[in-house]
């Protein structure tokens, strides 16, 4: 049913097929596995998740075809403004990129954003749009289980997520050299939002939990699985009960690599704070509330010495 991996240090792989089960006990077992993975690892992989293989394959193909286009075509989407709804670049201004090109765009609601997406390659909007809609649906299902695991009603965030942000980052990493040198394609960082759902074409993602002592664990590529990790706003919402996941990308020495990260959160200007249920005399509010808009304001200040956004939200800490 659930079945988090049992090996020490192994990353949980959870069958979520019974989250929609009419038997509350069956759902409760999966929720329990997800709650444990969120608490102990800050991430997990999901199988039997309802996102079709054709949608996943199509998204990776669409991304690959975009990055394979001539430089001048991709350059049409280059922009210095990090608020632009569609942005292509070969190095980011967030202080964490090492060796990647990327395309970032918004996706929810799809009909609001899709007309601003690239029209080349010709099938890009159809393939990436199909994937985006299926992933958005999965994000709401997963967040229902995560907040239930925290003791809240599964519907606690459903409305906010339905009208919330879906921010997609398509990353293209070159093949790494086997010679000694810098093998990091994307430096350690955590994501904004509640959760990130990630699809990768080949290995390269590495994660470390706050209990891992700085040890990096490679995330395996399991056919049909999707990787899920916790974002800064889930750490805030839970008042520190859960922690956002530090992760990085290592260059693959065997091949170039593509990853598609879909970040899910509240709407751009909606403030996220600690849920009242997690605040009492023994557990004071740890974080100031903030929005995705606030995160974008923060990014340009974070280039020289990277800090996790959530660290700047700590009450009594440095802003």
Domains and CATH numbers, the chain: 50-313 (2.60.120.330)
Is it the case that residue 22 has pLDDT exceeding 80? Answer: yes
Interacting residues of 54 by C-beta distance below 8 A, sequence separation 6+: none
Confidence of residue 8 (pLDDT cuts 50, 70, 90): very low
pTM: 0.93
The 3-class SS string of the chain reads CCCCCCCCCCCCEEECHHHHCCCHHHHHHHHHHHHHHHHHCCEEEEECCCCCHHHHHHHHHHHHHHHCCCHHHHHCCECCCCCCCEEEECCCCCCCECCCEEEEEECCCHHHHHHHCCCCCCCHHHHHHHHHHHHHHHHHHHHHHHHHHCCCCCCCCHHHHHCCEEEEEEEEECCCCCCCCCCEEEEEECCCCCEEEEEECCCCEEEECCCCCCCCEECCCCCCCEEEEECHHHHHHCCCCCCCCEEEEECCCCCCEEEEEEEEECCCCCCECCCHHHCCCCCCCCECCECHHHHHHHHHHHCCCCCCHHHHHECCCCC
Confidence of residue 7 (pLDDT cuts 50, 70, 90): very low
Give pLDDT tens digits for 43-101: 999 999 999 999 999 999 999 999 999 999 999 999 888 889 999 988 766 666 667 89
Could you report how far apart the first and last alpha carbons of the chain are, in Å?
43
Provide the pLDDT for residue 301: 83
**202: nearest Cα among 284, 259, 275:** 259
Is it the case that residue 122 has pLDDT exceeding 50? Answer: yes
**46: nearest Cα among 18, 12, 21:** 12
Q: What percent of the chain has pLDDT over 70?
A: 92
* Backbone phi and psi for residue 23, each to the nearest 5 degrees, phi listed first: -85, 110
Is it the case that residue 9 has pLDDT exceeding 80? Answer: no
Interacting residues of 28 by C-beta distance below 8 A, sequence separation 6+: none
Whether cis (ω within 30° of 0) applies to the bond prior to 109 is yes
Is it the case that residue 189 has pLDDT exceeding 60? Answer: yes
Pairwise CA distance, residues 239 & 287, whole Å: 7
Provide the pLDDT for residue 246: 95
Whether cis (ω within 30° of 0) applies to the bond prior to 121 is yes
* Tokens 């997690």 sit on residue: 278
Is it the case that residue 29 has pLDDT exceeding 60? Answer: yes
Q: What is the dihedral of CA 92, 292, 156, 237, to 10 degrees?
A: 90
């Amino acid at each position: 049913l659930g079945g988090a991996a049992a090996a020490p240090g192994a990353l949980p792989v959870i069958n979520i097929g019974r989250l929609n089960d009419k038997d509350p006990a069956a759902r409760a077992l999966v929720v329990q596995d997800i709650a444990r993975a969120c608490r102990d690892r800050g991430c997990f992989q999901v199988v039997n998740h309802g996102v079709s293989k054709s949608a996943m394959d199509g998204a990776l193909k669409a991304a690959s075809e975009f990055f394979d286009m001539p430089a001048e075509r991709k350059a049409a989407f280059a922009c210095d403004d990090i608020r632009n709804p569609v942005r292509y670049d070969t190095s980011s201004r967030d202080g964490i990129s090492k060796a990647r090109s990327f395309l970032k765009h918004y996706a929810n609601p799809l009909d609001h954003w899709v007309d601003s997406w690239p029209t080349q390659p010709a099938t890009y909007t159809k393939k990436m749009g199909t994937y985006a809609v299926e992933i958005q649906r999965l994000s709401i299902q997963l967040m229902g289980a995560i907040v239930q695991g925290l003791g809240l009603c599964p519907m606690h965030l459903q409305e906010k997520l339905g009208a919330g942000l879906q921010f997609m980052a398509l990353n293209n990493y070159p093949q790494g050299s086997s010679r000694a040198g810098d093998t990091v394609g994307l430096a350690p960082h955590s994501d904004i939002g509640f959760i990130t759902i990630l699809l990768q074409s080949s290995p390269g993602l590495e994660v470390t939990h706050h209990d891992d002592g700085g040890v990096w664990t490679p995330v395996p590529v399991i056919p049909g699985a999707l990787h899920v990790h916790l974002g800064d706003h889930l750490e805030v919402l839970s008042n520190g009960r859960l922690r956002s996941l530090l992760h990085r990308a290592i260059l693959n020495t065997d091949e170039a690599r593509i990853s598609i990260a879909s970040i899910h959160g509240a709407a751009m200007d909606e403030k996220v704070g600690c849920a009242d249920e997690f605040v009492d005399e023994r557990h004071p509010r740890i974080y100031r509330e903030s929005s995705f808009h606030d995160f974008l304001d923060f990014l340009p200040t974070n280039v020289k010495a990277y800090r996790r956004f959530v660290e700047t939200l700590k009450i009594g800490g440095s802003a």
